Chains A and B, each alone.
Chain A
Amino acid sequence: MAEAKGHDYALFLGCIAPNRYPGCEASAIKCSRKLGINLHDMKGASCCPAPGAFGSIDLNVWYAMAARNVVIAEKMGMDIALECNGCYKSIYEVNEKLKHHDELRDMVNEVLKTVPDPTDPTKKGTMEFKGTIDVFHLVELYADPKICGPDKIRENVVRPLTGTRIGVHYGCHLIKPKKERHLGDTENPMWIEELVAALGAEPVQYRKKMQCCGAGGGVRGYDLVHALDITNEKLINLHEAKVDAVTESCPFCQLQFDRGQIEIKEKFGKMWGLPVLHFNELLGLAFGMSPAELALDMHAIPVDPFLKKIL
């Protein structure tokens, strides 16, 4: 459609990225443009809402809130691009479910009727889920050669991350459950590694790559020590593989790895000090953004050892 101008998407921010790691958002907006992906703000978007927390308590609230976010993009006439695996689970999955289940869609639309229009809060009855758009994760768009692809990223790198060893954490909600996703192999996927390699870094394989970060599904909220236990095992395995940083596509995984290391120090007495960077942040660095532009000083674990290798 808009081939000459690039691809347009509604950018769904989520909560954790703008509140805790604003560099993810900054990178998304600045870097995507260079790759032919134009992101547009979604006025009135809410929390996705968090799939573990909301889904465990009331699925209907989860459906309705996620559907409301989808409808905002439907009204913009754009597919959604987002930057968090948790948001991906909520928005992608609800969008697909409502597209294929008439009863559920009718029920959700009953609720949406009573919701004010985000562009004009005095109006009601304008919100209706129609099922006209698709939902994508930004890394998925980066990896898709029809939209961008690793080659296009490689061409735009101005500060290659040469000499760094990076472990990739995919996070569960991006690719699982396999039946409800379309991103290929769930046992040993390699496509984010290809993106990391395109930035000039060396992607490193490590034991139990596909293990959970420990946070998801409400585990972090319910039983922090158990969550940290899982995180700690991941950190042991990453440490064994001698990585300089771990990257992921999910600010919530990032929070768990980043804040989690402080908590692990408190609970288990071990400080790993492993820099944690969202893929967007890595992309920003490779595309020449400064650490300040990426607000890397907001990380709980300093990323300086990693920056020293590339700056």
Chain B
Amino acid sequence: MAEAKGKAKAKETKEARETKETKAPAASPAAPQKARIGVFVCHCGTNIAGSIDVKGVVEYAKTLPDVAYAEDYQYVCSTPGQKIIEKAIKEKKLTGTVVAACSPRLHEPTFRRATAEGGLNPFRFEMANIREQNAWVHMHDKESATDKAKDAVRIAVAKAALLQDLTPKSVTVEKTALVVGAGIAGMQAALDLANAGIKTYLVEKLPTIGGRMSQLDKTFPTLDCSQCILTPKMVDVGRAPNINLMTYTEVDAVEGFIGNFDVTLRKKARGVLSTDEAEAKGIVGGGCNGCGDCEPVCPVIKPNPFEMGMKPRKAIYIYHPQVVPLLYTVDFDTCIKCGLCVTACGEKKAIDLEMKDELVKLKVGTVVLALGYDIFPVEKKREWGYQQFENVVTSLEFERLICASGPTGGHLIRPSDGQTPKRVAFVLCAGSRDNTGIGKPYCSRFCCMYSLKHAHQIIEKIPGVIPYIMYMDIRSFGKMYEEFYYRIQDEGAKFIRGRVANILEDKATKNLHVYAEDTMLNRPIDLEVDMVVLAAAVQPASDTDRTRKLFGVSCSQDGWLLEAHPKLNPCGTTTAGVFVAGVCQGPKDIPDTVAQAEGAASAASIPIHIGKVELEPYFAQCIEEKCAGCGMCVNLCPYSALSLVEKEGGKKVMQVTEAKCKGCGTCGGFCPGGAIWMQHFATPQVVAQIDAFLTGGAK
């Protein structure tokens, strides 16, 4: 019945068009603002035309009210395509344009410019997405897809007829940047920003910078010592005059928008004053100089998380000798406040056991998030026995065990008895590429390569050792990686293609039995080894979700931060002025991390160097005559963009801080009096779209 009604309506409009065509000259002077919309339907090669009858959509568009012109073109986004729009605006005296093509995320700016070139306000343009949301999902149903495209065009035309001229606002950009996270990604981004002449705040939640890379022994495929290539950068960061390094600090709150982020940092109570802080307090020549006198006297012993808990630390500690800044930290969760360290510190008066968290406010123009990763809790994969069997370790624990500065001085030993293992199994994809719902569905991307490196390291250090690499596929994708793979094969590592089913411990010897299917030889295997290293999957660092929400950054379903476009804007996010770098955006190795950090730094420096940014004019407007001053919207606004002000005569009305408003529409949808006008998404425009959908019929 609805269909029949739709058909009748379409017929009606067609008749209306015919009469309009003949009577148009007479009618136009009477209604000078009568909308005249041009519709441009794109073939996008066969992307759209393959599943939608483009010509049919054009013919249909011509029957719609307010449509003065309709045309199709192979690629509307091409230069000739844009020219068609410009020409039509001028020749047909259009008041608005509709392009039915791809997602507005791709070409909205293109068609806005074309609309502006034709002499209209760029916001007189509306886009109908008939590719991503139509042609690509209804590939095998051309008839329905065409009907749906007609619906989309009808809806867009209804809105375009009511669009208004809008002018974007521009705001000045604060000439400072903030980098959150000081692993290799954050350090590189901060160094680049600082070298580009931008004052940069580098914030790190741990007491030292360096991140995961500082825990690694060697890096693949070059086998450079990780610390050796990292520490010069750490020193640079510590010394760069343009970098304000704030360790043991977290982001507490964020307000504002691109160019003007108001960031509140929580400087966690460290219990130790730096030399600068001491000087500010009037302690001459005081503050922590890293002498370490406090550490031996501390009676509290705790596991050092930097060493994956395999080495002790005191309640006043540094992670390792190369920390930047060289500044001790008191762990107030375990400190018993005996005061022995204060006595040992003496005249330097660096230790303050009554220190409290401090909030610091900053204003920054742009932000780079480099939040890093954690190891997936691989004990959840119960079948591999991590934390049940002593000789099953994770790859990060292995890194510390093989590292000369680690808890064993670089001698790989079995945790159960301190013996040197002669048979070591490396279990790849330990929690990665796992569709059981326990592990992670994605590839963690660097485990294959570091496991090859691990095999090399034990072959180098332990005569007669046999590394067994239990793999699904070896993904040696990078420059010189495949060559490294061949090298490790030649060095004698044994490769067994088969996912490990389970691992059991021999209670007497603490040796491990690794059960798998050798899919190359098509037989089940029971491999007895001295030690198992699980190449555990990686997952977003524990704080990632909280931090990303503060900055309004989305994440993909696996928790990694969502880039603005996976291919063409890999460093940007959907929040203007916030960029991402490193593993927090998705697993990647050190070269890719550094490259992305440089990209993010470059992107973050652009608005700062330009000095101003244009904001989309989608903000809310208050219709003061209708506003009752109830203030409900003020509390609802997630961006604190609204406030109540008193007008002459004591009338209270809502006022919008346009630069803060993101145009989300929460207030406009709620306002009981209909007093809020959402620019570009105004009630009459949206209602017209709904009406067009419900009362039309694409037959």
Q: Is the CB of A179 within 8 A of B437?
A: yes
Give A210 to B383 CA distance when docked, in angstroms. Answer: 10
Q: Is the CB of B437 within 8 A of A187?
A: no
Q: Is the CB of B382 within 8 A of A185?
A: yes
Q: Does B413 contact A (CB under 8 A)?
A: no
Instruction: Kindly list the 3 A-B residue pairs having the minimum CB-CB distance in the complex, ordered from nearest.
Output: A187-B382, A187-B383, A185-B382
Q: Is the CB of B437 within 8 A of A188?
A: no
What's the A-B contact tally at a CB cutoff of 8 Å?
14
A186 contacts across to B, CB distance below 8 A: 382
Give A8 to B436 CA distance when docked, in angstroms. Answer: 36
Give A188 to B384 CA distance when docked, in angstroms. Answer: 11
B503 to chain A, nearest CB (A): 10
Closest to B382 in A: A187
Give A292 to B502 CA distance when docked, in angstroms. Answer: 42
Partner of B504, one of A178, A179, A207: A207
Q: Does A208 contact B (CB under 8 A)?
A: yes
A207 contacts across to B, CB distance below 8 A: 504, 506
A210 contacts across to B, CB distance below 8 A: 502
What bracket does the count of chain B residues touching chain A fall in?
A: under 10
B170 to chain A, nearest CB (A): 54
User: A207-B506, A208-B504 provided; 9 other pairs, C-beta below 8 A?
Assistant: A178-B436, A179-B437, A185-B382, A186-B382, A187-B382, A187-B383, A187-B502, A188-B382, A207-B504
B437 contacts across to A, CB distance below 8 A: 179
Give A186 to B382 CA distance when docked, in angstroms. Answer: 8
A188 contacts across to B, CB distance below 8 A: 382, 388
A178 contacts across to B, CB distance below 8 A: 436
Closest to A188 in B: B382
Give A125 to B657 CA distance when docked, in angstroms. Answer: 70
Give A100 to B624 CA distance when docked, in angstroms. Answer: 54
Between-chain CB contacts (< 8 Å), 7 pairs: A179-B436, A179-B437, A185-B382, A186-B382, A187-B502, A188-B382, A207-B506
B388 contacts across to A, CB distance below 8 A: 188
A185 contacts across to B, CB distance below 8 A: 382
A179 contacts across to B, CB distance below 8 A: 436-437
Closest to A208 in B: B504
Q: Quick one: which of A134-178 are within 8 Å of B by CB?
A: 178
Most buried by A among B383, B388, B437, B504: B504
Q: Quick one: which of A73-108 are within 8 Å of B by CB?
A: none
A101 to chain B, nearest CB (A): 20
Closest to B515 in A: A208
Closest to B506 in A: A207
B504 contacts across to A, CB distance below 8 A: 207-208
Give A89 to B436 CA distance when docked, in angstroms. Answer: 20
Q: Quick one: which of A204-263 are within 8 Å of B by CB?
A: 207-208, 210
Give A41 to B271 CA distance when docked, in angstroms. Answer: 72
Give A185 to B438 CA distance when docked, in angstroms. Answer: 12
Size of the A side of the interface (Cβ < 8 Å), in residues, is 9
Give A132 to B331 CA distance when docked, in angstroms. Answer: 56
B383 contacts across to A, CB distance below 8 A: 187
A208 contacts across to B, CB distance below 8 A: 504
Give A187 to B504 CA distance when docked, in angstroms. Answer: 10
Give A185 to B506 CA distance when docked, in angstroms. Answer: 21
Give A179 to B435 CA distance when docked, in angstroms. Answer: 11
Give A178 to B434 CA distance when docked, in angstroms. Answer: 14
Closest to A210 in B: B502
B569 to chain A, nearest CB (A): 38
Closest to B381 in A: A187
B525 to chain A, nearest CB (A): 15
Give A185 to B504 CA distance when docked, in angstroms. Answer: 15
A253 to chain B, nearest CB (A): 20
B385 to chain A, nearest CB (A): 8
**What string of 1s and 0s marks CB contacts (under 8 Å) between B368-393 and chain A?**
00000000000000110000100000
B130 to chain A, nearest CB (A): 33
Closest to A206 in B: B507
Give A157 to B437 CA distance when docked, in angstroms. Answer: 41
Give A188 to B388 CA distance when docked, in angstroms. Answer: 10
Most buried by B among A179, A188, A210: A188
B436 contacts across to A, CB distance below 8 A: 178-179
Give A188 to B379 CA distance when docked, in angstroms. Answer: 13
Closest to A179 in B: B437
B509 to chain A, nearest CB (A): 12
Q: Quick one: which of B334-385 are within 8 Å of A by CB?
A: 382-383
Give A219 to B567 CA distance when docked, in angstroms. Answer: 51
Most buried by B among A178, A185, A186, A187: A187
A242 to chain B, nearest CB (A): 13
Closest to A177 in B: B436
Give A188 to B504 CA distance when docked, in angstroms. Answer: 11
A296 to chain B, nearest CB (A): 32
Give A207 to B502 CA distance when docked, in angstroms. Answer: 12
Give A208 to B504 CA distance when docked, in angstroms. Answer: 7
Give A187 to B392 CA distance when docked, in angstroms. Answer: 16
Give A191 to B13 CA distance when docked, in angstroms. Answer: 73
Give A185 to B380 CA distance when docked, in angstroms. Answer: 10
Closest to A187 in B: B382
**What string of 1s and 0s marks CB contacts (under 8 Å) between B19-40 and chain A?**
0000000000000000000000
Give A212 to B29 CA distance when docked, in angstroms. Answer: 89
Give A179 to B436 CA distance when docked, in angstroms. Answer: 8
**What string of 1s and 0s marks CB contacts (under 8 Å) between B127-149 and chain A?**
00000000000000000000000
A187 contacts across to B, CB distance below 8 A: 382-383, 502
A308 to chain B, nearest CB (A): 28
Q: Quick one: which of B411-448 are within 8 Å of A by CB?
A: 436-437
Q: Quick one: which of B497-520 are within 8 Å of A by CB?
A: 502, 504, 506
Give A109 to B210 CA distance when docked, in angstroms. Answer: 65
Give A210 to B504 CA distance when docked, in angstroms. Answer: 11
**What string of 1s and 0s marks CB contacts (under 8 Å) between B458-489 and chain A?**
00000000000000000000000000000000
B502 contacts across to A, CB distance below 8 A: 187, 210
Give A208 to B524 CA distance when docked, in angstroms. Answer: 15
Q: Quick one: which of B276-323 are within 8 Å of A by CB?
A: none
A169 to chain B, nearest CB (A): 16
